[in-house]
């Protein structure tokens, strides 16, 4: 692709095998993953998903993730844009990692304060599980968050100045708005499903995001269909 993207991000579930129940298979998948992506000539950003540390993460699964893929949450500047990468599993189930979850929350509060103070031209959060799929008022389902935590977090993000959230987990495309803050859900490059949630779908692909001064533009491309040259007009 010309110009080359600044980076590639996988919005969680880097591997499919769960660490606690399928550690051997996960080891093999990790080798494959690193083998495939070692050929990449742009940075690869890894977001931590439920398959990566388990639906009920433990100190062990998080430590293993960190030694294999680096930090499970972090932030950085790129081209005048500020990115915050959270570990959304702490909001799903932190029953066995209360201390780590509290550290994450303190860090996130500091990050949001920083965004409020610095007012970057864009502030973008990357996370695995989306707060919602299509509508901030939708009912709870297996793919989003409980309404109480969802509402608290969306307001927190919004008040800090976040206007863009990119997520995965849903195995199909989705997205919607909380006020003028856009949440985008991107389908998987691997297994996808139709809207009924059970029928397989073959639209494996990825999303190309163009960051312009005053807005972000994004399009989903099925594998093999993305343009090889990106124009800025
Ligand atoms: Zn997931």
Question: Which pLDDT band, with edges at 50, 70 and 90, does 202 fall under?
Answer: confident
Residue 27 CA, ligand 1 centroid: distance in Å: 18
Q: CA angle, 13 as apex, 206 and 2 as ends, to 5°?
A: 30
Residue 191 CA, ligand 1 centroid: distance in Å: 11
Average pLDDT over residues 177-200: 92
d(CA 122, CA 212): 9
Residue 51 CA, ligand 1 centroid: distance in Å: 6
d(CA 122, CA 162): 7
CATH code for the domain defined by 8-222? 3.60.21.10
Instruction: For 99-141, give the DSSP string.
Output: HHHHHHHHHHHHHHHHHHHH--SEEEEE-SS-S-SS-TTPPP-
The number of beta carbons lying within 10 Å of the beta carbon of residue 84 is 23
Residue 79 CA, ligand 1 centroid: distance in Å: 29
Average pLDDT over residues 129-151: 96
Average pLDDT over residues 41-47: 97
Residue 43 CA, ligand 1 centroid: distance in Å: 22
Average pLDDT over residues 55-63: 98
Residue 2 CA, ligand 1 centroid: distance in Å: 31
Residue 231 CA, ligand 1 centroid: distance in Å: 32
Would you list the domain boundaries of the chain?
Answer: 8-222
At 71-121, the pLDDT tens digits run 999 999 999 999 999 999 999 999 999 999 999 999 999 999 999 999 999
Question: Which pLDDT band, with edges at 50, 70 and 90, does 231 fall under?
Answer: confident
Note the pLDDT of residue 190.
87
Share of the chain above pLDDT 90, in %: 92
Residue 57 CA, ligand 1 centroid: distance in Å: 13
Note the pLDDT of residue 175.
97
Q: Give yes or no for a contact between 47 and 203, defined as CB atoms under 8 angstroms apart.
A: no
For residue 147, is pLDDT > 70? Answer: yes
Token readout for 137 is 């008022």
Residue 14 CA, ligand 1 centroid: distance in Å: 9
Residue 123 CA, ligand 1 centroid: distance in Å: 23
Residue 190 CA, ligand 1 centroid: distance in Å: 12
Tell me what the pLDDT averaged over the chain comes to. 96
Residue 4 CA, ligand 1 centroid: distance in Å: 28
Note the pLDDT of residue 233.
67
Residue 128 CA, ligand 1 centroid: distance in Å: 7
Question: Which pLDDT band, with edges at 50, 70 and 90, does 205 fall under?
Answer: very high
Token readout for 162 is 């976040």
Question: Which pLDDT band, with edges at 50, 70 and 90, does 232 fall under?
Answer: confident
Note the pLDDT of residue 191.
86
Residue 142 CA, ligand 1 centroid: distance in Å: 10
Residue 119 CA, ligand 1 centroid: distance in Å: 31
Residue 171 CA, ligand 1 centroid: distance in Å: 8
């Amino acid at each position: 692709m010309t110009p080359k993207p600044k980076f590639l991000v996988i919005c969680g579930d880097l591997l499919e095998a769960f660490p606690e129940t399928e550690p051997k298979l996960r080891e093999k998948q990790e080798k494959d993953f690193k083998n495939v992506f070692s050929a990449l000539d742009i940075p690869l950003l890894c977001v931590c998903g439920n398959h990566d540390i388990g639906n009920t993460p433990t100190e062990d699964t998080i430590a293993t993730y960190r030694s294999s893929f680096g930090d499970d949450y972090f932030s950085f500047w790129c081209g005048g844009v500020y990115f915050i990468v959270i570990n959304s599993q702490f909001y799903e189930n932190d029953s066995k990692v209360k201390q780590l979850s509290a550290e994450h929350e303190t860090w996130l509060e500091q990050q949001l304060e920083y965004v409020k103070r610095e007012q970057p031209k864009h502030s973008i959060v990357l996370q695995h599980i989306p707060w919602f799929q299509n509508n901030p008022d939708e009912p709870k389902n297996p793919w989003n968050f409980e309404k109480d935590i969802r509402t608290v977090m969306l307001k927190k993000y919004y008040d800090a100045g976040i206007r863009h959230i990119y997520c995965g987990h849903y195995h199909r495309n989705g997205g919607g708005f909380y006020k003028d803050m856009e949440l985008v859900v991107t389908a998987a490059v691997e297994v996808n499903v139709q809207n009924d949630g059970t029928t397989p779908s073959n639209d494996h692909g990825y999303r190309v995001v163009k960051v312009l001064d005053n807005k972000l533009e994004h399009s989903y491309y099925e594998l093999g269909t993305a343009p090889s040259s990106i124009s800025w007009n």
